[in-house]
Structures are given as C-alpha cells and as structure tokens.
Amino acid sequence: MSAVRRLVSYSHGAGCGCKLGPAELATVIARLAPAEADARLLVGYDTGDDAAVYRIDDATALVFTTDFFTPIVDDARAWGRIAAANALSDVYAMGGRPLLCLNVTAWPRESLPLEVLAEVLAGGAEVAREAGAVVAGGHTIDDPEPKYGMAVAGLVHPDRVVTNAGARPGDLLVLTKPLGTGVIATAHKNDAAPPEVLERAVRVMTALNASASAAMIAAGARAATDVTGFGFLGHLGRMLEASGVSASIEADAVPLIDGARELAEQGHIAGGTRRNRGYVEPRVRFGDGVDETSRWLLFDAQTSGGLVIACPPEGLDDLGAAAVGAAVVGAVEAGEAGAIDVR
C-alpha cells in the first residue's frame, strides 16, 4: 500500500461533488421524452425524487435507485462504506426499507491493485449488512478513474411513500445530519484537512439514515429528500418546487461538522458547490446577517448527507426522539414555488 498513490489523487472531484451540476442535469432531462404512462409507476424522474417507486400490488411497492462516485477518502474500506451508505440513503428518503444491492465499479486495473478494490467492496458489504440488505453481485469496468457505488432495491407500502412533493405550509423543516462534508473532502484532497476533522466527516458519511427514515414515518412527515451533491439549498429547493411552496431558513440553526467552517473560510470550496450556487442562488434571498462562509456551506456539495424532512408540528416530538442529531432549521411557507429566504 505504501507505493500506491493516495486514492483521492485518482479523481477529478471528491464524492458527490463530482456529479453533473443541477443546471447541466436539467438541460439533459429537458431533452428526454416524458416517461411512458404507467399507473404502476408511482414516482418517476419528473419530480427529481431520490428513487423510482413502482407498485407491485396493493401492499407492496419497489423502491429502486443507483448512486456511485469517485474516491472521497484514501482509506479504501471507508470509501466503500461511505458510498454504500450514500446509495442506501435514497431508499430511506422515500420511506423504504433496503433489500437488495448490486455493486457498480470502475477500476484502473493497471495502476491500482485489485486488493484495494477488495477493500472497497468489503466496506460496502459491511454497511449493506448493517442496513439488513444483501449484496448479490454487480458489474465492473476498466476505467482510469476509480468509481464505486451501488444499485439498491427496497420495499415500501404504496400508501406510505414519502416523496419530495408533499411539503405543506406550516410544516417544520428538520435536517438530520450536519453539513460540511464537501468542504472537508475538498480540503482533504488538497492535503489540508486536520485528521480529526476528516474523521468526524467520515462518521457522518458512514451513518445510515435508517433511524431518521423510521422517525419521519412515525412523525407523519409529508415530504423528504436526502442532502447530497446539490447541497442543502439545492435539494431543499427541488422539494419546495415539487411541492409548490416556499420556505424560510434560520442559518444559525443549520448544524455543521466541527471544523467545516474554518476550512470553508480557507477557501476549500468544491467545484460542485460552485455549480450549485450558480444554479440555485437566483431563487434564494439571503438576509444581510448571513455571512459569505455560511452561504457557501448551505450550497456545499454533500456526500451521504442527512434527510431534510417536512414535518407537521404535531409530529416533531416523535421525529426528534428517534432521529438523533436532528435540528429544526426552518419552516415551509406559502409563496413562490422553490423560493427560499435565509435569515
């Protein structure tokens, strides 16, 4: 291992920061034909939800998703764990239970030992087992840039699907993990992240959203999405637009990983974060008291982030009791669809 380059040096971006930007993705989707009408397809790509949902019968629906990305840390097993938790999160965001996983892998076989790939896959399998899901195989290709993730299938009752289109005025907005993984991953790639800060970020990214998902169901949540590459404001904005509502956010209430603010102040801003801000900021109104660093962190391209949940006020106690670390960060309001006031 000592002769092998740092894993993050093989990638042009870090984790979900390597995704196409929201503006680029919107351009591509606009050129696609509308999804074929099928009454069994409960959730497709038209609302920008986290996963597709397909009704099998009156009591069962399939939740199906895929997610993969370039190395975000140098520890191969940790990268595998992060990537698996990130892919599984899409099922949890829909209120589902993960069931079956397939590995999706690109690997530079001439420059990275296959033993390193084995560690990546072992990390993914560990997290899948923690989620109660089975890894049943996958697919690999030879690629100069390593990539890893999973396709995940899960189950949900058709009447209990949580989408990003159900937020209503008066709902409270709850974020279940702190922000800052994009800044920290970028600093790590620049060899500037203190080890203890990186360790905190890894703990956040490898934590499953299972308890948060169960809590939002118990709380009667109407809408949710997970916070990944498009950043907190990007994913929140998509949920608000799909729901036809606006929101207000208290910047000081948004939790951050310890050390993230300092790294953002030093300029460790991911390219994906810059793309997020360019696309989303026209629909965001910042108060004069929201400093520049806070603005960057609210756009920060997250990897394996938490859920942002639109929760009716009467369900807040149930949600807070089960989703450890959850924070109320704002509220849904009537207003221009997708607009966000940050105070």
Domain end residue (candidates: 160, 187, 206): 160
Shared-domain flag, residues 179 and 317? yes
Using CA atoms, how far apart are residues 217 and 215, in angstroms rounded to an integer? 5
18 with 61, same domain: the answer is: yes
On whether residue 167 sits in a domain, the answer given is no
Residue 57 lies in a domain: yes
Same domain for 315 and 214, yes or no, is: yes
Same domain, yes or no: 191 and 67:
no
120 within some domain: yes
Question: Which residues participate in catalysis according to the annotation?
Answer: 16
Look at strands 340-342 and 246-249 and give their pairing.
parallel
Residue at 219 is within a domain = yes
* In a domain? residue 224: yes
CATH number at residue 215: 3.90.650.10
Give the tokens for residue 139. Answer: 């697919």
- pLDDT tens per residue across all 343 residues of the chain: 344 578 888 877 665 556 666 677 677 767 776 766 788 999 987 777 889 999 999 999 999 999 999 999 999 999 999 999 999 999 999 999 999 999 999 999 999 999 999 999 999 999 999 999 999 999 999 999 999 999 999 999 999 999 999 999 999 999 999 999 999 999 999 999 999 999 999 999 999 999 999 999 999 998 999 999 999 999 999 999 999 999 999 999 999 999 999 999 999 999 999 999 999 999 999 999 999 999 999 999 999 999 999 999 998 887 765 566 789 999 999 999 999 999 9
Q: What is the reported pLDDT for 16?
A: 52
CATH number at residue 98: 3.30.1330.10
Q: Are residues 142 and 203 in the same domain?
A: no
Least Cα distance to 310 among 159, 166, 157 occurs for 166
54/183 same-domain check: no
Q: What is the pLDDT of residue 3?
A: 45
**DSSP characters for 99-167?**
EEEEEEEEE-TTTS-HHHHHHHHHHHHHHHHHTT-EEEEEEEEE-SS-EEEEEEEEEE-GGG--BSS--
End-to-end CA distance of the chain: 48
**Do 230 and 112 share a structural domain?**
no
The number of domains in the chain is 2
At which of 160, 192, 215 does a domain end? Answer: 160
Model pTM? Answer: 0.93
Question: What gap in Å lies between CA 334 and CA 312, rounded to an integer?
Answer: 15
Same domain assignment for residues 260 and 191: yes
166 domain residue, yes or no: no
Residue 2 belongs to a domain: no
The answer to the question of residue 1 being in a domain is no
Give residue 43's region: left, alpha or beta (phi > 0; psi -120 to 50): beta
Examine the domain organization and report whether 141 and 225 are in the same domain: no
Residues 155 and 178 in one domain: no
Residues 230 and 332 in one domain: yes
d(C-alpha 12, C-alpha 10), whole Å: 7
Expressed as residue numbers, the domain containing 181 is: 172-342
Residues 138 and 217 in one domain: no
Looking at 160, 182, 210, the residue that finishes a domain is 160
